[in-house]
Chain A
Amino acid sequence: MKQTASTQLLRRVERPRAPSALSNALVFGWRAVLKFKHVPEQLFDLVMTPIMFTLLFTFVFGGALAGSPSEYLQFFLPGILVQTVVFNSVYSGMGLSTDLDKGLFDRFRSLPIWSLAPFAGLMVGDMLRHLIAGGIILTIGLILGYRPEAGVVGVVAAFILLLAIGFGVGWIFMVLGLIIRTPMTVMTIGFTAIFPLVFASNIMVDPATMPRWLRAFVDVNPVSLMTTALRGLMGGTATLTEIALALIAPVALTLILAPVTLWLYVRSER
């Protein structure tokens, strides 16, 4: 046994042909999928909050806010999808912070691979998370009586927009994850920043009754713009302008923060 062991150990193994950047990224995506397998409880975290929100707002506040729970659900469901995706991005920042903390990224950084590949992989994981969480919320909505007027096409388009939103917002937490050493702090800062954006938006209520100064903010809040477009897509009333407005923030975040992420990653010396 010892003998065979050492023979294998001593065998020289040369490097195979260098894999493509895409292949590198897919490996990290595969890692994210394995995480779902080994840490299924993360999914629980991921969907419990939005499920609670959906049930609470629909049945407790729904009647008062929109006349009846079912009418409110029709209004609220697209918004809760946006909220879910934005909240879930915080968790990926925490994951990154944890990886950096444990030195795992030291190994990745000393490998001859595409430098952005680990982040592309994290993004793949994020997208899967968003799809799973969004799918669960939508299913619950359908069970409770939500009906997307735009049908399957509208729902698919809405989910594509959701992924774009998740992709853009994800960069914020990549950057936070790179800057902040402790995962808990990433979470605290993340939620502190996100709560006002999510609540001072049109996700839960029509801003018509809000004071003017608040409405001024709500109307330009990117979360509101995203929610409006998503509602439009699922309801079959979306205009190109709405979709374009919803995409401003994700596109801008990607253009600005992807290079920042790379820069922070390459120069970080923990």
Chain B
Amino acid sequence: MKRFGDVKAVDGIDLVVPRGMIFAILGPNGAGKTTLMRMLATLARPDAGSATVMGHDLLTAPHEVRASIAMTGQFASLDEDLTGRENLVMLARLWGFRGRAAKARADDLLAAFDLSDASGKQVKAYSGGMRRRLDIAASLVVTPGVLFLDEPTTGLDPKARKDVWRMIRGLADSGVTILLTTQYLEEADQLAARIAVIDHGKKIAEGTSRELKAATGSGFLRVSLADPTRFDDAATILERRLGQTVQRSSEGAELSVLGGTAKIANEALADLIAAGIELSDFSMGQPSLDEVFFALTGQPASDDGSKAAVA
């Protein structure tokens, strides 16, 4: 914990995560996010490359790595038959808390995650949000140097998602390094100081949310069509004028495209009107992470991600 406090993963992906930072790994399903996390958490062995976590080498000192990390996987790794409290007491004992200390630690965590009322219920009776909170609590029995969160809010309703975000921020404030994966662009934007975008196992970009947006280009033109059936016509016109690929929103009636200067964007709008395509709305500005992702990968982020970005 007092060592270098950084994480470095090399497997076609080079990352340096400074201590105490929330770092997001953003990518669509199948991009390799979970595999990367599992390797860093010693659950999977890399075939090549090397990595250090909190100064410990993954390959030569996995036990030391395990002593300084915690991981919350995509699927709650809890014993469904036991109560929430028993799950935490069990983990506390495995970490070395004895008798009363283990119970006290479990009760502290239950209180911290608003689970005290449900502490005596079997986990199988928990809601998705409660499960996820308990799962994160289970990762904090001993404050880890690095906390790996694999898609911490996938499948949660908006309120539960906000609760989890609040907890993640609180943890980062207390000095825990957090490496999280997400396919929600909004989540990366909201939580992370730095974001690595990965796709097909390769890192395609890294930076702050602002840097990623700036690298993509600033002048993004967004156009909403009154008549969605004219989408293809509109796309053709915009592409001809601006020389850029047009991205279609998941709702179908909105187009966005790197517009260059205001003058060119203006001409493009004029083209649309001249072609008889009615616009319900248009705007120009910084790209959303959605658009960043599209610009980087040439394909839209998953549907879930797009929705989250719009919300």
Contact = CB atoms under 8 A, between A and B. Distances in A.
Contact of A103 (B73, B108, B111, B113): B73
Contacts of A9: 112-113, 140, 167, 170-171, 174
Contact of B138 (A5, A38, A107, A112): A107
A34 B171 CA distance: 31
Contact of A31 (B80, B90, B97): B90
B222 interface: no
B267 interface: no
A23 B98 CA distance: 10
Interface string A226-270: 000000000000000000000000000000000000000001010
Given A9-B171, A16-B97, A19-B96, A104 B90 contact: no
A102 B75 CA distance: 7
Contacts of B174: 9-12
Contacts of A24: 94
A107 B114 contact: no
A133 to B, nearest CB: 19
Given A13-B142, A16-B101, A17-B96, A5 B111 contact: yes
A38 B174 CA distance: 36
Residue in A23, A30, A109 with the greatest tally of chain B CB atoms within 10 Å: A109
A6 B70 CA distance: 20
Interface stretch (B41-49, B237-245, B269-277, B302-310): B41-49
Contacts of B67: 15, 112
A111 B82 contact: no
Contact of B90 (A18, A27, A106, A112): A27
Interface string B245-270: 00000000000000000000000000
Interface residues on chain A, size class = 35 or more
Given A39-B81, A107-B77, A10 B170 contact: yes
B202 interface: no
A76 B78 CA distance: 42
B93 A23 contact: yes
A88 B224 CA distance: 65
A108 B45 CA distance: 16
- Which among B38, B71, B95, B171 has the highest number of chain A CB atoms within 10 Å? B95
B195 interface: no
A59 B19 CA distance: 72
Contact of A104 (B77, B86, B93, B143): B77
B78 A269 contact: no
A113 B71 contact: no
Range of interface residues on B (Cβ < 8 Å): 35 or more
Contacts of B175: 12
Interface string A18-56: 110001100100110011001100000000000000000
Contacts of A39: 81
Contacts of A4: 111
Contacts of A15: 67, 95-96, 142
A125 to B, nearest CB: 12
B218 interface: no
B248 to A, nearest CB: 36
Contact of B81 (A19, A30, A38, A269): A38
A195 to B, nearest CB: 29
Nearest to B69: A110
A110 B82 CA distance: 20
Interface string B72-91: 01111111111100100011
Closest 5 CB pairs of A and B: A107-B77, A9-B112, A16-B96, A112-B67, A10-B174
Interface of B: 38, 41-45, 63-64, 66-67, 69-71, 73-83, 86, 90-91, 93-98, 101, 105, 108-109, 111-114, 122, 138, 140-143, 167, 170-171, 173-175
24 contacts: A9-B113, A13-B141, A13-B142, A14-B143, A16-B95, A18-B96, A19-B93, A19-B94, A19-B96, A23-B96, A24-B94, A27-B90, A31-B79, A35-B81, A102-B80, A103-B73, A103-B74, A103-B77, A107-B91, A109-B43, A111-B66, A111-B94, A117-B94, A269-B44
Given A9-B112, A16-B97, A30-B93, 12 more contacts: A9-B170, A9-B171, A14-B143, A15-B95, A15-B142, A16-B101, A31-B90, A34-B81, A107-B91, A111-B94, A112-B64, A267-B45
